[in-house]
Amino acid sequence: MSGASTFRAAVAALPTEPKAFFDAAKARLAGGARPVTFWGQPADDPAELTLTLVLEEAGRLDALRTAVPRDRGFHALTRAHPALHVFEREIFEQHGVKPHDHPWLKPVRSPGAGPAGMLRYPLYAVEGKEVHEVAVGPIHAGVIEPGHFRFMCLGEVVHHLEIQLGWQHRGAAALLLRRDPRSLAPLVETLAGDASVAHAWAWADAVEALAGLAASPELELWRGVGLELERIAMHLSGLAGLANDVAFLQGSAGYGRLRTTVINASMLACGSRLGRGWVRACELRLPSDRPLLEPLRAALALLERDVALVDDRFAASASVRARLDGVGALRREQALELGLVGPAARASGVALDARHGLPGALYARLPVEPVVEATGDCWARARVRMREIGASIGWIRAALDALGEPAPFATPVGPLAPSTLAVAVRESWRGEVVHALETDAAGRLRHYQAQDPSLRNWHGLALAVRENEISDFPICNKSFDLSYCGSDL
C-alpha cells in the first residue's frame, strides 16, 4: 500500500549490477528521493559485500541492492549526497570495504577499540596561534550517557566541534542475531531505552511483515497511543532539562513532575514507566483487567491544563528567551543536506515526519501534521517539542475514542518467510527509527539493521554550535537531545 511505513521484498528480486545500482541511486537521489538507511552485510560470495540502500520517494519506501568486490570497494555517494556520510563511514568501519573519495572517513563507533583505541581517534585539528581546544567527556558532569566533545575555540567562540562517540558500544548488532527474532522485544526495547516503544514497534512491524501478518486496526491504535505517550514524556523530559540548563528551576520542576504523570499513565497500561512491554509482535498486552480508558483520559486532561501553564511561564520568561533565541541555529539547507530527521529537522523548517510521510492505514485514519518552526535555533527546537506535546494529547484522545476500552489478545506469529527483507520505519519522539530484518533460505534471521535517528543527527549538533559561545553548548546539546547508546549500538 502506498504510504505504508513497512517495505517487504523477496531478497532474490533486489540485486542489480553495481553500475546499475549506483546509476539508479544517483538518479533517484538527485531527483529528490530521501535516503532512509544504507548498510553493508556479508554476501554469499565471501569476496563481495552486499550493499542495501533504502529510499523514501513519493511517499513510498523502496530498497536497492548490489554486491561490490571487497578488495576494490566502491565510489562514495557522500560527496554528492552528504546525508549518506555516516552510512558510508559505518560500512567502511564494519567491513573494511572502502567508499573511495569519501570526504571524511572517520570512525563511527570504534567497536571494541578499548582504552588505547579510543585515545587514538583522529580528531580534526584547527591550527592557529589563537586556537585553543577544550576537551569534555566521555564522562560528563550530570547524570548522562558518555560521549567526547572537543571544541576548537577562538576565544570563547566555538569554531568547530568534534564529536567522538563509540563509548557506549555494547555489541548490540551481534546480540540481535542470537535469539529467535520473534522474541527479541526485551532487547530491542533497550537499543535506545528512552524510545523503547518506537524501536519495539518498528521491530514488530518488520517481524509481522516477515510472518505475512498485519496488525489489526485496534493493535495499531494501541501502539500509536504508547508511542505518543512516549513522545509527550520525553518532550517534557527534554524541556525540563533545557529549563534546568538555563537555571529556570520552576520550569524544570513543573515539566519534570508532569513527565511523572505521563510515565505513570504508561505504567498503568503496560507495567513500566518507559513503555517496556507495550509492544509485542501480534499481541496486545495489558497487565490486568483494570480499566484504562478513564485514567488515561484523566491524565490527558491534567496534562493539557498544567502543561499550558508551564509553557506560558517558560515562554514568557525573558531570561529563558535570552538564552535560547538565536542560539545554536541550523539552517534549513544544512538540515536537508545532512539528512537530519525528527524535531531537529522540523525546527529548521523541514516538514519531515514518518507519521505524515508514510502514514499507512493508522495515520491515514488519524492524520498527523508535521510541527515545523523556521528559525532552527534552540528556541525553535523547544517550540517544536512544546507544540508536539499538545498535538500528541489530541491524537491520543482521538485514538482512544476510536479504540474504546482496549482488550488483550495474542496471535501466534508463526514461521517467517524465507529469503525476505522487511524494512520498517516509525517516528519516535527523536525522529525516524528504522529496523531492517532479513531472513535466510530457512527463514532464520540473516541480518538485522537497527537504526536510531541519533546516528544522523549528531553531525547537525556539531554544525549548530559553530560560532556560538562554548557556554551555550549544554543547551545546544540538550535541545537536540540525541541518544549516545542508540548511535553506538
Partner 1 sequence: MLKALRVLRSQGRQYIPDPRRAAPAGFRGLPVLSERPCDEGCRACADACPTDAIALAPLRLDLGRCVLCDECARACPAGTITLGPEHRMASGTREGLVLRQGAAAPPAVAVSEALARRFGRSLKLRSVSSGGCNGCELELNALGNVNFDLGRYGIDFVASPRHADAMVLSGPLTANMREAVELAWAAMPAPRFVIAFGACAISGGPYAGSTVLARELLEREVPALWLPGCPPHPLTFVSGILDLLGIDLPR
204 or 329, CB closer to partner 1?
204
- 334 touches partner 1 (CB under 8 A): no
Q: Which of 58, 80, 177, 309 binds partner 1 (CB under 8 A)?
A: 309
3-state SS class at 152: strand
Q: Segment contacting partner 1 (CB under 8 A): 9-17, 43-51, 219-227, 252-260? A: 252-260
Residue 138, helix vs strand vs coil: coil
Selected binder of partner 1 within 71, 257, 325, 361 (CB under 8 A): 257
x/- mask, partner 1, residues 202-241, rule CB under 8 A, reads -----------------------------------x--x-
DSSP string, 26-40: HHHHHTT-EEEEEEE
Minimum distance from CB of 444 to partner 1 (Å)?
Answer: 17
DSSP letter for each residue of 406-435: ---EE----PPPTTEEEEEEEEETTEEEEE
Q: Identify which of residues 288 and 441 has a Cβ nearer to partner 1 in the complex.
A: 288
Residue range at the interface with partner 1 (CB under 8 A); choices 78-86, 163-171, 326-334, 348-356: 163-171
Question: Does the footprint of partner 1 cover residue 86 (CB under 8 A)?
Answer: no
Q: Determine the distance from the C-alpha atom of residue 87 to the mean position of all C-alpha atoms in its chain, rounded to a whole number.
A: 14
Please select the residue that binds partner 1; options are 146, 326, 394, 443, rule is CB under 8 A: 146
Q: Smaller CB distance to partner 1: residue 14 or 118?
A: 118
Cell numbers linked to 470: 562554548
In sequence order, what are the residues at sequence separation of 6 or more whose Cβ sits closer than 8 angstroms to the Cβ of residue 114?
A: none
Whether residue 138 has a cis bond before it, omega within 30° of 0? yes
Sequence-distant (6+) residues with CB within 8 A of 477 are 461
Taking the complex as a whole, the smallest distance from the CB of residue 370 to partner 1 amounts, in Å, to 25
Cell of 29: 537521489
**Candidate segments 70-78, 149-157, 282-290, 362-370, binder of partner 1 by CB under 8 A:** 282-290
Are the C-beta atoms of 99 and 76 separated by less than 8 Å? Answer: yes
- The identity of residue 389, as a single letter, is I
Q: Which of residues 375-434 bind partner 1 (CB under 8 A)?
A: none
Is 171 among the residues that bind partner 1 (CB under 8 A)? Answer: yes
Alpha carbon distance 295, 261 (integer Å): 11
Q: What residues numbered 41-70 form the site for partner 1, per CB under 8 A?
A: none
Beta bridge partners of 439: 445
Q: Least distance to partner 1 from the beta carbon of 412, Å?
A: 13
Q: Are strands 74-75 and 99-100 parallel, antiparallel or unpaired?
A: parallel
The DSSP 8-state label assigned to residue 300 in this structure reads H
Cβ proximity to partner 1: between 16 and 190 the closer is 190
